[in-house]
Amino acid sequence: MSDLVLKDVRKSYGDAKVIHGVDLEIRDGEFVVFVGPSGCGKSTLLRMIAGLESITGGDVVIGGEQVNDIAPADRGIAMVFQSYALYPHKDVYGNMAFALRHAGEDKAVIDERVKKAADILGLDALLKRKPKELSGGQRQRVAIGRAIVRDPEIFLFDEPLSNLDAALRVQMRVEILRLHQRLKTTMIYVTHDQVEAMTLADRIVVLRDGRIEQVGTPLELYHHPKNHFVAGFIGSPKMNFLACDRVGDGTQVTAHGSAPITVLVKPRDAAGPFTLGVRPEHVDLVEPGQGQLDGTILVAERLGGETFLHVDLGDSEPFVVKADGNVRYVSGDPVGLSFPSDALHLFDANGDAFEHVERHALIA
């Protein structure tokens, strides 16, 4: 077990710069998730930590040792790939034992460690099978088992659940979480799925275009996004954004000519135009005229327990509101929207968020 430090890590392919100086400290035993849209460099960063990509600039430090020029096998890491990357010609046992055999371990030791890993992952009955005789979930377990057997200091997961179907993904997500609780090893997990990021991570690293946008606990990112991008990326359905104007002392805004809406942020000088951000689950539905804004329902997406209303406010994008699933909503009906001021976000022209007056109760 070990901590990992990235110091101004850079990567470029010829003239194309992919990673623009990433600084990050990952503590021993932490579960960190890299998340971001495709092409943001999250996989590249992971592969640089693994040693599969060379490092153009900066340092990767594992357990206090700079590992830039150390071979992948000697970095104390193990990696699980999206496509499992099992050796098709070896059985499950052979796949898991491969690394140990190369390290010249004793047969008895290999046997013991493979059996132990198989036991943890429930693979005991499958040890003699070839990868093609396994289901997707079993293959992924073998890939994880191959990583466990090496007893690494850091686990690297590269979108490990993307090839699984939805039900299996949920199941494997829980298994990975329990594995982390059991092994207490540092884990770095790359995904583009923000549900995986939110549920698994101790801390989430949001990346965009080779830069870190924000690092924080899942709740921190949800309640106090640093900027427009993080606010829009975390949360499902995504946050609604409304162009707005500041009025009064700067803590009140009007959007679409609404009545003044109070936003509990620390006022500061910033250039407009401003954007008001509000999550679908933080909007109250009221009778038309009773709230700060009125709109008409375009579509009602019924999920049973809840209903997502797409409300037309005159913008190109509909305004999404999470509503009670037990109430009947009809397309074309007018609705009033009321914004509770403690759950609103305000962004300046650069997309930077205004700091909230109070931190959320669950975040220290």
Partner 1 sequence: MSPVIQGIITIIIGVGGCVGYFYFANLLVDRVIFPQRDIAAGTTGMRRTIGRIGLGILLLLLLLVMFAGSLPDALAQIPAAIGSALAAFVSILLSAAEALSFGVEWLGMLLSLAVYLVLFVVVVGGLITLIGFAITAPGTATTGDNINRANQMRPWLFLFPAMFALGLYLMYPVVGSFIRSLYDRAGTDYVGLGNYVRLFNNPDFRTAFFNNILWALVVPAMATFMGLVIAQLTDRLRWGNIAKSLVFMPMAISFVGASLIWKFVYAQDPDIGIINAIRQFFGAEEGIDPLQIPFWNNFLLMAILIWIQTGFAMVILSAALRGIPEETVEAAIIDGANPFQVFFKIKVPQIMGTIVVVWTTITILVLKVFDIVYTMTGGNFGTEILPSFMMDFMFRDDGQATAVAFVIMVVVLPVMIWNIVQARKEMR
Residue 50 interacting with partner 1 (CB under 8 A): yes
- Residue placing its CB nearer to partner 1 in the complex, 11 or 356: 11
160/280 with CB nearer partner 1: 160
| DSSP calls for 192-227 | S-HHHHHHH-SEEEEEETTEEEEEE-HHHHHHS-SB
DSSP H/E element including 261: strand 261-262
Q: Contact 185/153 with Cβ under 8 angstroms?
A: yes
In terms of C-beta density within 10 A (0-12 exposed, 13-18 middle, 19 or more buried), how is residue 129 classed?
A: middle
Which residue is associated with the tokens 């759950």? 343
Distance CA 117, CA 96 (A): 9
362 binds partner 1 (CB under 8 A): no
H helices within 122-165, ranges in order? Answer: 136-149
Q: Which of 12, 54, 66, 83 binds partner 1 (CB under 8 A)?
A: 83
Question: Could you tell me the smallest distance in angstroms from the CB atom of residue 100 to partner 1?
Answer: 9
Cα gap 322→284, rounded to integer Å: 9
**Using CB under 8 A, which of the segments 67-75, 185-193, 269-277, 342-350 binds partner 1?**
67-75
Stretch that binds partner 1, among 34-42, 72-80, 162-170, 280-288 (CB under 8 A): 72-80
State the nearest-atom distance from the C-beta of 91 to partner 1, in Å: 12
Stretch that binds partner 1, among 29-37, 46-54, 212-220, 256-264 (CB under 8 A): 46-54
72 binds partner 1 (CB under 8 A): yes
From the list 10-18, 22-30, 95-103, 306-314, the region that binds partner 1 by CB under 8 A is 95-103
In whole angstroms, the minimum distance from the beta carbon of 140 to partner 1 comes to 13
d(CA 110, CA 100): 6
> Taking contact as CB under 8 A, which single stretch among the options 27-35, 44-52, 118-126, 205-213 is the one that binds partner 1?
44-52
Site residues (CB under 8 A) for partner 1, limited to 116-145: none
Nearest to 149 by CA among 93, 188, 90: 93
**What whole-number distance in Å separates Cα of residue 195 and Cα of residue 117?**
27
Residues 238-277 that bind partner 1 (CB under 8 A): none
By the rule CB under 8 A, 76 interacts with partner 1 = no
* Selected binder of partner 1 within 59, 87, 119, 236 (CB under 8 A): 87
Find the shortest distance in angstroms from Cβ 274 to partner 1.
Answer: 46
Q: Which strand ranges, in their side-by-side order, compose the sheet holding 77-80?
A: 77-80, 154-158, 186-191, 31-35, 203-208, 211-216
Q: Would you count residue 103 as binding partner 1 (CB under 8 A)?
A: yes
Q: Which of 6, 86, 187, 190 binds partner 1 (CB under 8 A)?
A: 86
| Stretch binding partner 1 (CB under 8 A), from 78-86, 171-179, 229-237, 299-307 | 78-86
- 78 contributes a contact to partner 1 by CB under 8 A: yes
Among 57, 81, 116, 170, binds partner 1 (CB under 8 A): 81
For residues 226 and 352, the answer to whether their CB atoms sit within 8 Å is yes
Q: Rounded CA gap, 178 and 209, in Å? A: 32
For 72-125, the DSSP string reads GGGTTEEEE-TT----TTS-HHHHHHHHHHHTT--HHHHHHHHHHHHHHHT-GG
Dihedral in degrees, nearest 10, Cα atoms 302, 305, 311, 315:
-100
When the beta carbons of 109 and 349 are compared against partner 1, the nearer one is 109
Which residue carries 């699980």 as its tokens?
A: 80
For residue 70, state whether it binds partner 1 (rule: CB under 8 A).
no
Binding site for partner 1 (CB under 8 A): 50-52, 71-74, 77-79, 81-90, 98-99, 102-103, 146, 150
